[in-house]
Amino acid sequence: MSGSSHGERAPIRLTRRGRVVLVSFAATVTLISLWLTVGTGALAGGRESRGPAGPGQTVIVEPGETLWEIAAATDPEADPRVVVQRIIDLNGLGGDPTVQPGQQLRLPAS
């Protein structure tokens, strides 16, 4: 018989493509886990309970909601034009300041 018996198996070797697929899968699982952990906390803050923004606060855009409404709710004492501009700058919305339902926005500290 040639050098290997029935009980022995050759070690598993991954090709470069196999390693890329494996690493991509692991990264995807990690990102989904983070999204589920962190993202659900952002969704828990309801629209009615939103007061002045604290440092690092985020909000999820509701259907039909505008930046103006978000700015007015974020800092009711401030000029909404200024708060809208701060939200645009903070979130890199410069070229297209429209928001979509479900979009997460970082809010400026008031």
CATH number for the domain harbouring residue 80? 3.10.350.10
Predicted TM-score (pTM) of this structure: 0.50
What are phi and psi for residue 4, nearest 5 degrees? -120, 145
Task: Find the length of the chain.
Answer: 110
Per-residue pLDDT of the chain (110 residues; tens, 9 = 90+): 555 556 688 888 889 888 888 888 888 888 887 777 765 444 444 444 445 445 568 999 999 999 999 999 988 999 999 999 999 998 988 877 789 899 999 998 86
> Does a structural domain hold residue 8?
no
> Which residues form the domain of 92?
16-106
Report how far residue 104's alpha carbon sits from residue 68's, in angstroms, rounded to the nearest whole number.
Answer: 15
Report how far residue 73's alpha carbon sits from residue 53's, in angstroms, rounded to the nearest whole number.
Answer: 9
> Does a structural domain hold residue 5?
no
Q: Is 5 left (phi over 0), alpha (psi -120 to 50) or beta?
A: beta
> Does a structural domain hold residue 25?
yes
Q: What is the domain count for the chain?
A: 1
Report how far residue 51's alpha carbon sits from residue 75's, in angstroms, rounded to the nearest whole number.
Answer: 7
Report how far residue 17's alpha carbon sits from residue 102's, in angstroms, rounded to the nearest whole number.
Answer: 35
> Does a structural domain hold residue 3?
no
Q: Which amino acid is at 87?
A: I
Number of H helices, E strands in the chain: 4, 2
**How far, in Å, are 28, 39, 55, 68 from residue 74 at the CA level?**
33, 20, 12, 10
